[in-house]
């Protein structure tokens, strides 16, 4: 399956009716052979985007290219993509094997060949022996694998997943997402994956495109998104983030000195001018200290403390507002009402460009 | 897209070359023509022969358009260019063929200005036959292929074909007849256009007179119709509610038998109830005889008129109200009532302040249904109406009376149509508005409270006698077919049965054979077409978005609200003359059955479609299947129970319809219902009932078979779409229309 | 797939349209205005004899006239058998029926031949029957009402709500009654009579035989109908008796016409000739219809009312069969009588 193809959107709009815009002038590229996740809250346009790749919706404006070919007006059958649906969309009146062979059957492949390919695909997802079952006789995870096998059997150049794991329980979800990642790596196929679960996105993606309100909020590798979110929205959506007011003074063309209360920190200024700014602070990057500790950067009082097994979650009231902290449950564990100090470094802290005034 | 264009062009071309263009009254077999002579015969020749040998140049598009389509499909053209050719050939060819059909009729040019334009026309043409129907149909498909090629309908030729064909069919068989009828109302008796004609007819005292309030013999038919409709609506709603409450909350073991009772009116030919009433309450009915022999009281002829019609319609339509209301009552969320009772309300308070108000939209819906049914009903008023005229019967007399007046019939039809549409819209608005009723959804764990004792007693007092009366009515009506003479000589006999269905010397000499065979044949032809069209259009409307979809869906649903008599008059008007000269053939009856019952098939199809996850279709699309694959391999198998239900329903409706077809039957196509109504009017009750019994038996056998087939099916989890047979009867449009 | 459905539909529909036609080499569409048993017996007998398939549509003569008129541009029926003579004459006058002279014409009674002459041979008499009263003897006895003997008796209060006559708008029988009264009394007095009679009428059924059927079943006491129809009911086991009005009565000449533009003209002519033979005319009596047949050679059954013993008026078929006159009288009736209170 070396035919993996690049997917490219060029200023694509999708309107439903006169009023509602689902996708607003979006452009992006998914390099061939990578796994790219469309991440965002519900209603952000990610599923519409996916459906436009599949050919289930047509763009109102702009072009969709798959492998360099403009497919904007082509029906799904002519696009060489296949899709795994959120509900799996297994045909309830067909057996597992019939489901898997469906794509081959409707493209008029010889029956024997179709059956063989179908069996092989079932085998590759570990469902050999389930050929004659009806989908309703399978568990959720098994149904999910059948859906994947059905999509794979056509050897598409792009494989689409629409929240494929949302109907599974947490443990199975982790297992399946690993399998999907393995499969993608093994086959080298281009995968576009829609989810609203940021952990899932971070875990499996080569690239994540975060969407919000019909536009792309940010795109990049999981690490880029987490380390330098482009906006408060991305910071909050990809992992947890405390937003703390700060003031900024540029040091050079890259870094700036950031003051939070009496603490100072050197961070990339990300184009921000001198003056007040906002800092995104990851809760697990904060260390809790006793008030007298010399490394203290911010002081406060614990207002809530919750024990979650491996970690503790604290809410700390500080002069800069409430701060959410996650720290190991071993070691220093203050109780509610205790005075504490916080410290943090460059890692896990980022200035938020364009956040002041827009999202406070 | 290319394949669709290719095949439709080939089909059109073949039809133009081989199939007789005109309607042949004597069939090809009967043609006294040897060898290939028929190919150029003026009567039997196909399109090609008509053009080349008979000089009918106006049929040239029938040859040229498919040829262009064929060329475009075969030549290596880019997709958009080919699509343009398809569009052009299909659209223009179709348009020209339709235009010539209407321009040149039985007497040459059909309008003077055409003669002025083209010179005198010696030739004339009759209705189209196989060829004349097939070529335009295939050109429509070609046109659709072109549309798909231009990117419409997601570029899918199958979807485009479905949409175009349904739009055309609706235009021809629903919109056109009604529009023509509307036009008729504006013509005076001589046929000339006169805007005043409508108003003078509308102002007719026979429609609007309120004289009866002041002692005149009768009121205007409009008031009669409204009064009857309101009474029937109120009555059926009250009775239906009583039954529904009892069945759901009354803690009786009545559910099953009562549900069976509701099937009866659906399979009953329209006047059997009226007949039963005559046999019980008529002057020599058992009640009257008992009254006069025991008490010396002459009850007289009170049954003929408003009381009789009202009673008959109550019997006929109560089950429909019941079916509507039982759904509503079952859908009530018990939690609300439990909440009420935890707030210290007594059962009676809860019923009055929570239950009844929650039922209100359902009650209004049931009332309007009863109202519409009553207005559309024709069988009961004609049998029992006496001097009490309603619009449906007045229309009938305006058409068949000695002083046939098409304009008056059209005007009356318009009035009836306006009233029915008014009620229909009202009902749609009611049901569309967010109803309070919580059907399905997240499981309400509550337990429905029993009826308050007083309410329960009231319901029992109303419902039990009524149920008993219904059963008695059926038993008596049916036994009337197996005694010598009802009311005089109650010796059991099979005389009527034999008279109706005698076979002597290998010939079917019974009086009813002809009509029963015709009925079954036409019903059997129309049912699959209705079901297929219903499912296809349900699929189209629920799975595709295209401009004008809403309008098309509305037009398809329109025949729902149109009373049968109006449809009949409109069809006779529209299909009496070429090019669509269907009057007098079985085809017009089939068309009438199909388009009259289509809305029900469509609605139940859409309900079933709503339960099938759209992503199944989409999965098929992304796996490389076209629209046709998604429809045939995915949707159809899942809809099988719904299709079966639609099939049976269409068959049953076709067997029991009277109002729409009474104008359309001829000697050759007489239907059993028409036969029965004529016998009833003539007083041959025994014969009428014998035929009706056979019809009912046939339909019950059908229902049973269908139930068996549906019941035995292996249905996947997602496919559990209402496999029951009878609920489609819950639609307006008349179970007994 | 859809294509296939559409094709199937088109084929089925057209096949159906043509299927009648495929058999049509030997078929005949009969509009029949006598009682259905007779219609069917005639159709069966003719079918057996000739192998021609006969389709029967039984309707009142007024309805058939309306239908033929409506279909004039494109006739569906071939032959119109039975029903009172006036609408047949009207059809002839309106050029709706075709001229045909059967070879059997001179075997017929004078009144039947006169019918043919009056219509310029576009119709012919096949039977005759006198108009009179039918009444239910049991019902009248129970209610202590004496049977009517004369037209004037019907106006008496004892018949309040006890009389039925057919609706002249759809029934030829009822029109014969109106024309008879007009000829007996003169038009003005006739309408006074009809208005007075209206008070005693309980219903105007659609078909001419409707009232006598009601009498038979005890739904009404008295009917205005043809006396031979009363005989039919009596033989059917009902307590029905009949009388011919003492002032004299009109009569009908039941007729038969070939519809102009008939598609199966030859078969229609064959049926026409056949229906005038004694063998065919006997079928009426065999199905308990006791009109007087028009062929002099047809045996008259004993039960049939003897026309010779009935005081008949000299019915002016030419005048009262004309459409304008008919329409005028019926419209006047509808306007002046039908709208009155009772």
Rounded to whole angstroms, the Cα distance separating B542 from B610 reads 8
Whether A265 is in a domain gets the answer: yes
DSSP A27: E
A neighbour chains, 3+ CB pairs within 8 Å: B
Whether A232 is in a domain gets the answer: no
Per-residue HEC secondary structure of chain C comes to: CHHHHHHHHHHHHHHHHHHHHHCHHHEEEEEECCCHHHHHHHHHHHHHHHCCEEEEEECCHHHHHHHHHHCCCCCCCCEEECCCHHHHHHHHHCCCEECCCCHHHHHECHHHHHHHHHCCCCEEEEEEEEEEEEEEHHHHHHCCCCCCCCHHHHHCHHHCCCEECCCCCCCHHHHHHHHHHHHHHCHHHHHHHHHHHHCCEEECCCCCCHHHHHHHCCCCCEEEEEHHHHHHHHHCCCCEEEECCCCCECEEEEEEEEECCCCCHHHHHHHHHHHCCHHHHHHHHHCCCCCEECECCCCCCCCCCCHHHCCECCCCHHHHCCHHHHHHHHHHHHHHHCCCCC
pLDDT band at C14 (very low <50, low <70, confident <90, very high): very low
pLDDT tens-digit map of B415-424: 888 888 888 7
Does B734 have pLDDT greater than 60?
no
In chain B, which residue's Cα lies nearest the Cα of A92? B716
Rounded to whole angstroms, the Cα distance separating B702 from B676 reads 21
Does C31 have pLDDT greater than 60?
yes
- Judging contacts by C-beta atoms under 8 Å, the chain C residues touching residue B661 are none
In chain A, which residue's Cα lies nearest the Cα of B634? A91
Query: How much is the pLDDT for B479?
Result: 85
Query: How much is the pLDDT for A301?
Result: 93
The answer to whether residues C328 and C202 belong to one domain is yes
ipTM value, please give it.
0.76
- Asked if A285 and A349 count as a contact pair (C-beta separation under 8 A), the reply is yes
Domain boundary among B133, B150, B167: B150
Query: How much is the pLDDT for B193?
Result: 67
| Domain with B407 in it | 223-443+458-476
Q: How far is CA C27 from CA B479, C46, C79, in A?
A: 37, 11, 11
Query: How much is the pLDDT for B213?
Result: 64
B interface mutation test: which of C1, C2, C230 has the most B CBs within 10 A?
C2
Q: Please name the residues between 18 and 57 in chain A that touch chain B, using a CB distance below 8 Å.
A: 51, 54-56
Q: Which of B613, B622, B718 sits opposite A82 (nearest CB)?
A: B622
The answer to whether residues B290 and B392 belong to one domain is yes
Closest of C170, C182, C325 to residue C250, by C-alpha: C182
Burial B137-148 (b: 16+ CB within 10 A, else e): bbbbbbbbbbbb
B neighbour chains, 3+ CB pairs within 8 Å: A, C
Query: How much is the pLDDT for B726?
Result: 36
pLDDT band at B487 (very low <50, low <70, confident <90, very high): low
pLDDT band at A190 (very low <50, low <70, confident <90, very high): very high
pLDDT band at C259 (very low <50, low <70, confident <90, very high): very high
Length of chain A: 360
Whether C122 is in a domain gets the answer: yes
Whether B195 is in a domain gets the answer: no
C interface mutation test: which of B668, B673, B680 has the most C CBs within 10 A?
B668
B interface mutation test: which of A75, A118, A156 has the most B CBs within 10 A?
A75
Closest of C203, C197, C198 to residue C155, by C-alpha: C197
Whether A209 is in a domain gets the answer: yes
The answer to whether residues A32 and A75 belong to one domain is yes
Domain boundary among B117, B133, B150: B150
The answer to whether residues B436 and B496 belong to one domain is no
Instruction: Establish, for the pair of chains A and B, how many residue pairs have beta carbons separated by less than 8 Å.
Output: 91
Closest of B198, B621, B214, B578 to residue B411, by C-alpha: B198
Query: How much is the pLDDT for B436?
Result: 47
Does B730 have pLDDT greater than 50?
no
Closest of B61, B4, B50 to residue B24, by C-alpha: B50
Whether A18 is in a domain gets the answer: yes
In chain B, which residue's Cα lies nearest the Cα of A81? B622
Q: How far is B389 from chain A (nearest CA, A)?
A: 50
Q: How far is B335 from chain A (nearest CA, A)?
A: 29
Q: Which segment of A268-277, B18-27, B170-179, B489-498 scores lowest on mean pLDDT? A: B18-27
The answer to whether residues A44 and A141 belong to one domain is yes
Q: Please name the residues between 294 and 333 in chain A that touch chain B, using a CB distance below 8 Å.
A: none
Yes or no, beta carbons of B615 and A55 under 8 Å apart: no
Yes or no, beta carbons of B624 and A103 under 8 Å apart: yes
B interface mutation test: which of C7, C11, C15, C16 has the most B CBs within 10 A?
C16
Query: How much is the pLDDT for A215?
Result: 92
The answer to whether residues A30 and A56 belong to one domain is yes
Closest of B584, B592, B703, B721 to residue B652, by C-alpha: B703
Query: What token pair was written down for C341?
Result: 């209170």
Q: How many CB atoms lie within 10 A of CB B603?
A: 20
Query: How much is the pLDDT for B42?
Result: 74
The answer to whether residues A123 and A263 belong to one domain is no
| Domain with A325 in it | 287-343
| Helix or strand run (H / E) with residue A202 | helix A198-204
Query: How much is the pLDDT for B724?
Result: 37
Q: How far is CA A66 from CA A29, A317, B461, in A?
A: 10, 51, 72
The answer to whether residues C282 and C232 belong to one domain is no
Yes or no, beta carbons of B615 and A85 under 8 Å apart: yes
Query: How much is the pLDDT for B397?
Result: 76
The answer to whether residues A328 and A355 belong to one domain is no
- Asked if B276 and B311 count as a contact pair (C-beta separation under 8 A), the reply is no
Query: How much is the pLDDT for B456?
Result: 86
Query: How much is the pLDDT for B729?
Result: 36
Query: How much is the pLDDT for B35?
Result: 60
Interface of B with A (CB under 8 A): 151, 154-156, 613, 615-616, 618-626, 629, 633-634, 637-638, 715-719
The answer to whether residues B251 and B387 belong to one domain is yes
Query: What token pair was written down for A29?
Result: 């590229």
Q: Does A260 touch chain B (CB under 8 A)?
A: no
The answer to whether residues C153 and C116 belong to one domain is no
In chain B, which residue's Cα lies nearest the Cα of A133? B716
The two beta strands, A35-39 and A207-212, are: parallel
Q: Which of B622, B624, B716 sits opposite A92 (nearest CB)?
A: B716
Query: How much is the pLDDT for A303?
Result: 92
Whether B372 is in a domain gets the answer: yes
CA dihedral sign of residues B210, B215, B216, B221: positive
pLDDT tens-digit map of A8-19: 999 999 988 778
Q: How far is B387 from chain C (nearest CA, A)?
A: 7
**% of chain B surpassing 90 pLDDT:** 7
Whether A2 is in a domain gets the answer: no
The answer to whether residues B500 and B416 belong to one domain is no
Q: Which residues contact B179 (CB under 8 A, 6 or more apart)?
A: none
- Judging contacts by C-beta atoms under 8 Å, the chain C residues touching residue B304 are 202-203
Q: Which of B106, B283, B525 sits opposite C16 (nearest CB)?
A: B525
Question: DSSP letters along B325-378, please?
Answer: HHHHHHHS-HHHHHHHHHTT--HHHHIIIIIHHHHHHHHHHHHHHHHHHHHH--
User: How many structural domains are present in chain C?
Assistant: 2
**Radius of gyration (C-alpha) of chain B in whole angstroms:** 28
Yes or no, beta carbons of A77 and B624 under 8 Å apart: yes
pLDDT tens-digit map of B181-222: 878 777 766 566 666 777 777 777 667 776 666 665 567 888
Does B24 have pLDDT greater than 70?
no
Whether C310 is in a domain gets the answer: no
**% of chain A surpassing 90 pLDDT:** 32
Closest of C31, C34, C99, C30 to residue C64, by C-alpha: C31
The answer to whether residues A186 and A270 belong to one domain is no
Query: How much is the pLDDT for C58?
Result: 79
Does C7 have pLDDT greater than 50?
no
Yes or no, beta carbons of C25 and B30 under 8 Å apart: yes
What's chain B's average pLDDT?
79
- Specify which of B405-409, B506-510, B600-604 reaches the highest per-range mean pLDDT: B600-604
Q: Which of B165, B668, B683 sits opposite C20 (nearest CB)?
A: B668
Q: Which segment of A345-359, B508-522, C31-45 scores lowest on mean pLDDT? A: A345-359
Closest of C27, C54, C327, C26 to residue C178, by C-alpha: C327
Q: Which segment of A30-34, C5-9, C283-287 scores lowest on mean pLDDT? A: C5-9
Yes or no, beta carbons of B718 and A92 under 8 Å apart: yes
Query: How much is the pLDDT for B366?
Result: 86
The answer to whether residues A18 and A143 belong to one domain is yes
The answer to whether residues C203 and C329 belong to one domain is yes
A interface mutation test: which of B624, B630, B632, B715 has the most A CBs within 10 A?
B624
In chain C, which residue's Cα lies nearest the Cα of B587? C13
- Judging contacts by C-beta atoms under 8 Å, the chain B residues touching residue C3 are 4, 7-8, 11, 141, 161
The answer to whether residues B430 and B499 belong to one domain is no
Does A356 have pLDDT greater than 60?
no
| Domain with C90 in it | 25-128+252-302
pLDDT tens-digit map of A231-261: 889 998 888 889 888 888 888 888 888 888 7
Q: Which segment of A301-310, B261-270, B641-650 scores lowest on mean pLDDT? A: B261-270
User: How many structural domains are present in chain A?
Assistant: 3
Does C24 have pLDDT greater than 50?
no
The answer to whether residues B466 and B556 belong to one domain is no
Query: How much is the pLDDT for B295?
Result: 77
The answer to whether residues A39 and A133 belong to one domain is yes
The answer to whether residues B102 and B234 belong to one domain is no
* Dihedral pair phi/psi, residue B410, rounded to 5°: -65, -40
Whether B189 is in a domain gets the answer: no
Yes or no, beta carbons of A154 and B619 under 8 Å apart: no
List helix spans (H) across B250-345.
Answer: 255-267, 272-281, 286-290, 306-331, 334-342
Average pLDDT over residues A201-221: 93
The answer to whether residues C191 and C206 belong to one domain is yes
**% of chain A surpassing 70 pLDDT:** 98
Whether A1 is in a domain gets the answer: no
The answer to whether residues B497 and B376 belong to one domain is no
The answer to whether residues B606 and B498 belong to one domain is yes
pLDDT band at A36 (very low <50, low <70, confident <90, very high): very high
The answer to whether residues A192 and A338 belong to one domain is no
- Asked if B485 and C234 count as a contact pair (C-beta separation under 8 A), the reply is no
Query: How much is the pLDDT for A43?
Result: 86
Q: How far is B716 from chain A (nearest CA, A)?
A: 5
Q: Calculate the CA dihedral of residues B125, B128, B134, B137 and round it to 10 degrees.
A: 90
The answer to whether residues A278 and A326 belong to one domain is no
- Judging contacts by C-beta atoms under 8 Å, the chain C residues touching residue B507 are 44, 47-48
Average pLDDT over residues A301-320: 90
Query: How much is the pLDDT for C19?
Result: 39
- Judging contacts by C-beta atoms under 8 Å, the chain B residues touching residue A81 are 622
- Between residues A140 and B729, the one the model is more confident about: A140
Instruction: Establish, for the pair of chains B and C, how many residue pairs have beta carbons separated by less than 8 Å.
Output: 235
- Specify which of A204-218, B566-580, C313-327 reaches the highest per-range mean pLDDT: A204-218
In chain A, which residue's Cα lies nearest the Cα of B616? A89
Query: How much is the pLDDT for C133?
Result: 92
B interface mutation test: which of A71, A91, A114 has the most B CBs within 10 A?
A91
- Asked if B626 and B544 count as a contact pair (C-beta separation under 8 A), the reply is no
Q: How far is B148 from chain A (nearest CA, A)?
A: 10
Does C206 have pLDDT greater than 80?
no
């Amino acid at each position: 399956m070396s035919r993996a193809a690049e997917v490219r959107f060029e200023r694509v709009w999708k309107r439903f009716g006169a009023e509602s815009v689902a996708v607003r002038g979006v452009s992006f590229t998914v390099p061939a052979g990578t796994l790219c996740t469309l991440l965002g809250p519900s209603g952000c346009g990610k599923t519409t985007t996916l459906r436009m790749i599949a050919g289930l919706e047509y763009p109102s404006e702009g072009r969709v290219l798959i492998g360099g070919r403009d497919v904007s007006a082509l029906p799904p059958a002519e696009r060489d993509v296949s899709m795994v649906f959120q509900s799996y969309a297994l045909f309830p009146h067909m057996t597992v094997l019939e489901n898997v062979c469906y794509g081959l059957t409707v493209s008029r492949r010889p029956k024997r060949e179709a059956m063989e390919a179908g069996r092989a695909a079932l085998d590759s997802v570990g469902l050999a022996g389930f050929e004659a079952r009806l989908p309703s006789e399978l568990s959720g995870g098994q149904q999910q694998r059948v859906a994947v096998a059905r999509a794979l059997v056509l050897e598409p150049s792009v494989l689409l997943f629409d929240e494929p794991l949302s109907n599974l329980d947490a443990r199975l979800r982790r297992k399946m997402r690993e399998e999907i990642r393995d499969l993608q790596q093994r086959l080298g196929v281009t995968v576009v994956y829609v989810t609203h679960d940021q952990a899932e996105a971070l875990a499996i993606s080569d690239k994540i495109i975060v969407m919000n309100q019909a536009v792309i909020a940010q795109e990049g590798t999981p690490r880029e998104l987490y380390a330098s979110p482009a906006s408060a929205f991305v910071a909050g959506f990809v992992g947890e983030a405390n937003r703390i007011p700060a003031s900024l003074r540029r040091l050079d063309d890259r870094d700036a000195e950031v003051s939070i209360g009496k603490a100072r920190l050197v961070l990339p200024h990300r184009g921000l001018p001198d003056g007040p700014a906002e800092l995104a602070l990851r809760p697990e990057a904060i260390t809790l200290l006793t008030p007298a500790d010399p490394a203290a950067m911010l002081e406060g009082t614990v207002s809530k403390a919750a024990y979650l097994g491996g970690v503790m979650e604290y809410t700390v009231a500080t002069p800069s507002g409430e701060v959410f902290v996650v720290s190991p449950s071993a070691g220093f564990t203050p109780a509610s009402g205790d005075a504490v100090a916080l410290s943090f470094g460059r890692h896990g802290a980022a200035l938020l460009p364009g956040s002041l005034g827009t999202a406070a | 897209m290319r394949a669709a264009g290719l095949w439709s062009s080939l089909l059109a071309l073949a039809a133009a070359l081989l199939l007789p263009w005109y309607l042949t009254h004597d069939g090809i077999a009967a043609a006294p023509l040897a060898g290939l002579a028929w190919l150029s015969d003026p009567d039997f020749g196909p399109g090609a022969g008509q053009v080349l040998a008979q000089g009918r140049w106006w049929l040239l598009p029938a040859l040229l358009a498919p040829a262009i389509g064929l060329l475009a499909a075969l030549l290596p053209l880019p997709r958009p260019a080919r699509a343009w050719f398809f569009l052009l050939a299909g659209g223009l060819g179709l348009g020209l063929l339709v235009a010539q059909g209407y321009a040149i009729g039985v007497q040459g040019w059909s309008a003077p200005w055409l003669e002025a334009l083209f010179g005198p026309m010696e030739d004339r043409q009759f209705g189209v036959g196989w060829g004349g129907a097939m070529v335009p149909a295939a050109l429509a498909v070609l046109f659709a292929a072109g549309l798909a090629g231009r990117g419409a309908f997601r570029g899918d030729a199958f979807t485009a074909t479905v949409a175009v064909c349904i739009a055309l069919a609706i235009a021809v068989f629903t919109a056109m007849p009604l529009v023509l009828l509307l036009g008729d109302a504006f013509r005076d008796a001589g046929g000339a256009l006169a805007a005043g004609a409508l108003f003078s007819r509308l102002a007719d005292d026979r429609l609007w007179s309120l004289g009866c309030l002041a002692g005149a013999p009768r009121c205007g038919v409009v008031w009669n119709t409204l009064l009857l409709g309101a009474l029937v609506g109120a009555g059926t709603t009250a009775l239906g509610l009583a039954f529904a409450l009892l069945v759901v909350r009354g803690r009786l073991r009545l559910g099953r038998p009562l549900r069976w009772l509701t099937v009866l009116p659906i399979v009953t030919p329209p006047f059997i109830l009226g007949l039963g009433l005559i046999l019980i309450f008529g002057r020599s009915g058992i009640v009257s005889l008992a009254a006069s022999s025991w008490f010396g009281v002459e009850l007289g002829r009170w049954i003929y008129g408003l009381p009789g019609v009202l009673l008959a319609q109550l019997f006929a339509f109560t089950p429909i109200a019941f079916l509507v209301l039982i759904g509503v009552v079952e859908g009530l969320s018990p939690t609300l009532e439990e909440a009420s009772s935890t707030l210290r309300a007594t059962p009676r308070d809860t019923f009055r302040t929570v239950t009844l108000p929650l039922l209100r939209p359902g009650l209004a819906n049931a009332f309007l249904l009863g109202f519409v049914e009553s207005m559309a009903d024709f069988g009961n008023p004609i049998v029992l109406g006496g001097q009490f005229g309603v619009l449906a019967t007045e229309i009938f007399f305006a058409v068949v009376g000695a002083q046939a007046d098409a304009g008056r019939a059209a005007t009356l039809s318009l009035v009836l149509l306006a009233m029915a549409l008014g009620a229909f819209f009202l009902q749609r608005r009611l049901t569309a508005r967010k109803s309070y009723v919580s059907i399905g959804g997240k499981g309400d764990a509550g337990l429905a409270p029993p009826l308050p004792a007083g309410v329960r007693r009231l319901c029992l007092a109303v419902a039990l006698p009524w149920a008993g009366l219904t059963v008695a009515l059926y038993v008596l009506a049916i036994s009337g077919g197996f005694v010598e003479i009802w009311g005089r000589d109650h010796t059991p006999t099979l005389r009527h049965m034999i008279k109706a269905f005698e076979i002597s010397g290998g010939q079917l000499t019974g009086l009813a054979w002809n009509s029963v065979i015709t009925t079954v044949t036409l019903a059997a032809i129309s049912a699959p077409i209705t079901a297929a069209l219903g499912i296809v259009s349900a699929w189209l409307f629920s799975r595709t978005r295209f401009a004008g979809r809403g309008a098309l869906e509305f037009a398809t649903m329109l025949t729902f609200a149109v009373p049968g008599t109006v449809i009949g008059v409109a069809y006779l008007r529209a299909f009496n003359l070429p090019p669509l000269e269907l009057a007098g053939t079985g085809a017009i009856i089939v068309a009438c059955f199909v388009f009259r019952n289509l809305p029900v098939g469509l609605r139940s199809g859409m309900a079933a479609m709503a339960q099938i996850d759209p992503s199944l279709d989409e999965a098929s699309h992304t796996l490389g299947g076209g629209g046709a694959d998604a429809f045939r391999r995915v949707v159809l198998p899942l809809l099988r129970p719904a299709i079966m239900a639609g099939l049976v329903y269409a068959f049953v409706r076709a067997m029991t319809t009277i109002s729409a077809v009474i104008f359309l039957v001829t000697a050759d196509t007489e239907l059993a219902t028409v036969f029965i109504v004529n016998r009833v009017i003539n007083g041959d009750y025994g014969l009428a009932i014998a035929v009706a019994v056979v019809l009912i038996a046939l339909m019950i056998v059908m229902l049973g078979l269908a139930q068996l087939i549906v019941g035995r099916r292996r249905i996947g989890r997602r496919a559990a779409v209402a496999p029951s047979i009878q609920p489609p009867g819950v639609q307006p449009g008349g179970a007994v229309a | 797939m859809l294509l296939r459905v559409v094709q199937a539909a088109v084929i089925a529909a057209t096949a159906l349209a043509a299927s009648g036609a495929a058999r049509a080499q030997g078929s005949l569409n009969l509009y029949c205005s006598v009682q259905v048993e007779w219609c069917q017996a005639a159709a069966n007998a003719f079918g057996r004899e000739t192998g021609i398939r006969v389709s029967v549509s039984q309707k009142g003569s007024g309805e058939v006239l309306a239908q033929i008129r409506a279909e004039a541009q494109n006739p569906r029926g071939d032959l119109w058998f039975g029903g009172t003579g006036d609408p047949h004459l009207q059809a002839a006058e309106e050029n709706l029926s075709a001229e045909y002279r059967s070879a059997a014409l001179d075997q017929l009674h004078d009144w039947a031949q006169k019918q043919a002459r009056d219509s310029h041979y576009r119709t012919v008499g096949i039977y005759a029957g006198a108009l009179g009263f039918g009444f239910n003897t049991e019902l009248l006895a129970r209610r202590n009402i004496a049977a009517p003997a004369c037209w004037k008796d019907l106006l008496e209060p004892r018949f309040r709500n006890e009389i039925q006559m057919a609706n002249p708008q759809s029934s030829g029988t009822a029109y014969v009654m109106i024309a008879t009264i007009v000829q007996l009394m003169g038009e003005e007095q006739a309408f006074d009579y009809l208005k007075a009679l209206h008070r005693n009428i309980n219903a105007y059924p659609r078909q001419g035989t409707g009232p006598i059927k009601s009498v038979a079943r005890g739904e009404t006491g008295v009917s205005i109908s043809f006396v031979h129809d009363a005989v039919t009911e009596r033989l059917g086991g009902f307590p029905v008796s009949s009388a011919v009005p003492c002032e004299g009565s009109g009569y009908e000449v039941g007729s038969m016409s070939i519809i102009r533009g008939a598609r199966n003209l030859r078969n229609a002519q064959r049926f026409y000739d056949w229906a005038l033979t004694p063998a065919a005319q006997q079928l009426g009596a065999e199905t308990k219809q006791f009109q007087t047949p028009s062929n002099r050679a047809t045996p008259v059954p004993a039960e049939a009312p003897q026309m010779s013993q009935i005081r008949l008026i000299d019915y002016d078929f030419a005048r009262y069969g004309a459409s304008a006159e008919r329409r005028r009288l019926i419209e006047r009736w509808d306007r002046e009588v039908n709208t009155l209170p009772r």
